[in-house]
Amino acid sequence: MANDRDPDNDPLTIVSVTQGANGQVTTNLNGTVTYSPATNFFGSDQFTYTISDGQGGSATGLVSVTVSPVNDPPTLDALSNLTIDEDAGLQTVNLSGISSGAPNESQTLTVTASNSNPSLVTNLNVGYASPSATGTVAFALAPNASGSATITVMVNDGGASNNLISRS
């Protein structure tokens, strides 16, 4: 509305707006309009607004909106805590819920794992092939060792930002 003028300098108010095909349009109390794109939408959209000068004059304008895509973070389901007996042998933890984040994203994912206590947890190995929604983390315990360790699994989609999720 900032570019709209009334020839008689009457104050202008928004009397109606249409909804965009891919977003929600809201008229605010301060006389502005807010466009909020639908989740995971990017591309072009448009809506119209009608203004009135309160004296019988009105006009309708068209607003074109371009929504740029953003990288959604990848996903990984939560991991459960484990209690393992000493000398228990090779352990395998199933991973699930691995995705690039949004249905419209198809990045190549990498899954890695780190370990806070290498003297206890050894041979940490990730089994994953993108774009699978599942994978595994396998590890062994050092002989005759006890204690605690945190294994952190990370999924990276290679995006420039918002590209990593981490679960411990």
Count of alpha carbons within 13 Å of 100, Cβ hemisphere only? 17
Distance separating alpha carbons of residues 75 and 167, to the nearest angstrom: 10
Distance separating alpha carbons of residues 111 and 135, to the nearest angstrom: 9
Pick from 93, 89, 90, 149: which is nearest to 119 by CA? 149
**Average pLDDT of the chain, as a whole number:** 91
Check whether 158 has a pLDDT greater than 90. no
Check whether 19 has a pLDDT greater than 80. yes
Distance separating alpha carbons of residues 118 and 90, to the nearest angstrom: 15
Query: Tens digits of per-residue pLDDT, 90-107?
Result: 999 999 999 988 887 888
What backbone torsions phi and psi does residue 45 show, to the nearest 5 degrees?
Answer: -145, 170
Mean pLDDT for 150-166 is 84
pLDDT at position 51 is 93
Distance separating alpha carbons of residues 160 and 40, to the nearest angstrom: 17
Q: What is the pTM of this model?
A: 0.72
Query: Tens digits of per-residue pLDDT, 97-139?
Result: 999 888 878 889 999 999 999 999 999 999 999 999 999 999 9
